[in-house]
Amino acid sequence: MKYLDEYRDPVLARAILDEIHRITTRPWTLMEVCGGQTHTIVKQGIDEALPQGVRMIHGPGCPVCVTPLEQIDKALAIAARPDVIFTSYGDMLRVPGTSTDLLALKARGADVRIVYSPLDALKIAVDNPDREVVFFAVGFETTAPANAMAVAEAARRGIDNFSVLVSHVLVPPAMTALLDSPANQVQGFLAAGHVCAVMGWTEYEPIASTYHVPIVVTGFEPLDLLEGILMAIRQLEEGRAEVENQYVRAVKREGTPLAQRQIMEVFEIVDRTWRGVGPIPDSGYRLRAEYARFDAEQRFDVGTIHTLEHPACIAGAILTGAKVPLDCTAYGTLCTPQKPLGAPMVSSEGTCAAFYSAARGLDARKVSLR
Amino acid sequence: MCLGIPGKVIEVRDDAALLMGKVDFGGVRKEVCLAYTPEVRLGDYVIVHVGFAISRVDEEEALKTLEILEQMGGLVTTELETMGKGMDRPAVLSDDGSPATFGSASASAGAATSAAGGPS
């Protein structure tokens, strides 16, 4: 893309950063919701270049991280069945369940396959009519259009050996849950650009006005993030609390209506539990009754699931922004991307993995053997 | 899975009543479902998540944003220059250490290129 490089222009980045420094008169705490944004912010050191007192809290927007342990354990139970081909986005494979993960299960002989798109999983089902093909339908509003289409296509084409294990979560209820928390520190949000590309931003307007909190729909390039931060701080400094759109090249107020229609045809809104955060009302999707025959949880009896998190992991505090990875005793020692204890260390969108790949604070944790 | 990637639409076709196509991501080509963005034409840019185009990238808007940013950059530079010494950090410098002017970054880059490599 000819203008993609320009969104990484260091000279412009410097200029926006200087403008942020110029207009900032007070300490402010902002949260970027999306893990993809966290990754850019930490990798580029944007958070460390902001004026003193301006703090970025890294939000819960990592689908891998917030998929509840119980769903991971169900996935493991289903994937272990000899009649099942279990398909998943690649980043779910190393997420630790209570006793193992999908990758280890695959190494022990389970038929676990990585797919790039849920339509690929559907194709595997067509090619293997005598096997049950299950797709792990996780994610935020960004993957929901794809996952909904896979189910709708299975129904339309009568692909009955296909089913989905659904663990879908939604951004706006998580934002209100954070704002409702007595421990909340967030004064302004950078909303996830691609979630809004699908859903638009009308859902955020009542949040901005009710909680008097600026929300800036923001993209993923370094310049996008800097401009989003600038717009949020400008609102805070001027006492405004509106929804603004930084990511105009990809997001419209109404979002992508065809995708929304497909999502709502296949899914309905339910309460969901977020790993590390807990239950949040109306914060996810499940299949509608008309599509319940494609629900893997109904198709396979997984028995009783007893979950147990690793005691050293503080993923919940990380996901809500109450703590940073450097506050964790296991970070970089017991817990690394090669051997993650908790989900935020698994995915590249996880805060712990973002810190680790930028080598934040790792020097201090190295053990000298001499 | 959550990272959307912008790419260029290089093929559009109807595949068993589903609008599909191919998208080029800087040389890597992938099958992409275009059902949610039926307005896209060959050569358009789309943002793709897990094999689905979820949004068409508006090139005009993209360029407009950059222009605004560059103008703002110009203002900031001017202000930095007028403020002179006393800033806790030097005004923006270009690669060779000389003060850079915003808004004409590409123009000066072009000028440098033609000075270095142009026919003389």
Partners of B7 on chain A (C-beta within 8 Å) are 1
Indicate which of A65, A117, A254, A351 best probes the interface with B, i.e. most B CBs within 10 Å of its own CB: A117
A141, pLDDT greater than 50: yes
Contact flag B50-A63 (C-beta cutoff 8 Å): no
Pairs of residues, one from chain A and one from chain B, whose beta carbons lie less than 8 Å apart:
150
Chain centroid to CA B33: how far?
23
Is the distance from CB of A186 to CB of A31 less than 8 angstroms?
yes
Minimal CA–CA distance to A264: which of A154, A168, A158?
A: A168
Structure confidence by residue, pLDDT tens digits, A267-299: 999 999 998 888 999 999 999 999 999 999 999
Contacts of A191 (CB under 8 A, 6+ apart): A33, A171, A201, A204, A215, A216, A217, A218, A243
Structure tokens at B57: 């990238």
- The rounded distance, in Å, linking the Cα atoms of A155 and A138 is 19
Structure confidence by residue, pLDDT tens digits, A164-180: 999 999 999 999 999 99
| β-sheet bridge partners, residue B29 | B24
Q: Give the ipTM of the model, two decimals please.
A: 0.89
- A163: helix, coil or strand? strand
Which candidate from B52, B64, B76 shows the least CB-CB separation from A18?
B76
- The rounded distance, in Å, linking the Cα atoms of B98 and A13 is 17
| β-sheet bridge partners, residue A169 | A284
Structure confidence by residue, pLDDT tens digits, B42-101: 999 999 999 999 999 988 887 777 777 777 665 544 444 433 333 333 333 334 434 443
- The rounded distance, in Å, linking the Cα atoms of A175 and A166 is 21
Structure tokens at A155: 């129904």
Structure tokens at A192: 């996830």
